[in-house]
Amino acid sequence: MDTKILEKVLHGYDWNVKEVKEIQKGVLRVETSLETVCLKCIPQGNPAKLLFVYDMMAHLWENGFNKMPIFVPAKKGKLFIRQGGNLYYAMTWIEGRHGDFRRPYDIQGAARTLAKLDRASQNFEPPEGVIIRERWGEWPDQFAKKAKEMMRLKKFAQDRVEKTPFDEVFIKNVDVFYHQALRAIQMLAQTEYDDLVKWGEKKKFFCHHDYTYHNLIVDGNQEINVIDFELGCYEIRAYDIADLIRRVSQQNHWDIFWTECILKNYHNIYPLKENELPVILALIQFPQLFWRTSYDYYLKKDKGKEEILYKRLQYAILQAEEKEEYINSFEKEIGFSLTN
């Protein structure tokens, strides 16, 4: 971060700064004489989008969910500071460790915390003037688009004269994951997804939409806190539940035990509807890790990350058989199967 710009941003707060440490790109840990805060930068950020995040978090707080940071205002009560075309805003720093989806305590706690967050998110109505993020009913089209993209990337890889190891492995395995995507589309079409979308719109739910281990902080009291709400949006709650299950399962050899654990812990706090389970399964069925890795390699083209992406691709392929067995077990557990 540019030193001169940072000085101007820090001057916009009533802080006696002791130390500034960059945690990752665009995220600083600022220690002041009174407290430690997290200073974040949104490149070319839109204030109306940040207001939506602020309003989401304020709504959660007002409805009893306080396991999260709060905004720290700048001078004159400003929510953010604009410098160099970017937006800067500060939040309280939550001391602790990141969640670990190989620890039973963290998995159970993540499910319970998500249930409390979802329960508190109901009836969210942001004020006028904010840019609303909503993803109601988009997954059938999104899955179809991503499946088509896999085939487009396959042709691109096949047409390359000089193929990389990534190309060779991708071409060899892409058809398997393409058919997984098609199955996810078919499974979702057989659920009551549209009814759940209508129910979600009526309940006015919003989701975190990036509910993963690095956005969960286990504090000194062993309580789980949620950070980084920037991707939050109106969405059916089944999305975050499925995303949590998928991320946990990837780190635990797709053991159905942890899915049962997550659903039970969530349900005990905020009961699930029976018709949500087939939707959760369909969302899990989509080969997200394989698709995301391929997208990052071919379309984002992150320089210097080729080796990491190659290992991630191999990881997704190695898990394919375990995941297939898991899907079959899930179908039997909830009494939902395409063969019925």
The tens digit of pLDDT for each residue in 6-19 reads: 899 999 999 999 99
* Mean pLDDT within 249-278: 95
Does residue 209 register a pLDDT over 60? Answer: yes
Residue scoring higher pLDDT (84 or 256): 256
Among residues 54, 60, 226, 197, which one has the least CA distance to residue 135? 197
Residue 297 near residue 306, CB atoms below 8 Å = yes
The Cα 93–Cα 70 span in angstroms is 9
Residue 290 near residue 313, CB atoms below 8 Å = yes
Least trusted range by pLDDT, from 176-185, 287-296, 331-340: 331-340
User: Exposed/middle/buried for 228, CB within 10 Å: 0-12, 13-18, 19+?
Assistant: buried
The Cα 257–Cα 254 span in angstroms is 9
pLDDT at residue 339, as a whole number: 39
pLDDT at residue 337, as a whole number: 41
* Mean pLDDT within 191-201: 97
Return the bridge partners of 32, or none. 17
What per-residue string of b and e applies to 153-164 under the rule 16 or more CB within 10 Å gives b? bbeebeeeeeee
The Cα 289–Cα 286 span in angstroms is 9
pLDDT at residue 332, as a whole number: 81
Give the list of residues 6+ apart from residue 36 with CB closer than 8 angstroms, or none.
29, 30, 93, 95
- What angle, rounded to 10 degrees, do the helices at 237-250 and 256-269 form? 150
Query: What would the pLDDT profile of 215-247 be if each residue is shown by its tens digit?
Result: 999 999 999 999 999 999 999 999 999 999 999
Among residues 321, 322, 297, which one has the least CA distance to residue 309? 297
Residue scoring higher pLDDT (3 or 215): 215
The Cα 308–Cα 175 span in angstroms is 22
pLDDT at residue 340, as a whole number: 40
Query: What would the pLDDT profile of 120-168 be if each residue is shown by its tens digit?
Result: 999 999 998 899 999 999 999 999 999 999 999 999 999 999 999 999 9
pLDDT at residue 1, as a whole number: 66
Q: CA neighbours within 13 Å on the CB side: how many for 170?
A: 31
pLDDT at residue 335, as a whole number: 55
- Mind listing the domains of the chain with CATH numbers? 3-93 (3.30.200.20), 104-334 (3.90.1200.10)
pLDDT band, very low/low/confident/very high, at 5 (cuts 50, 70, 90): confident
pLDDT at residue 338, as a whole number: 36
pTM of the model: 0.93
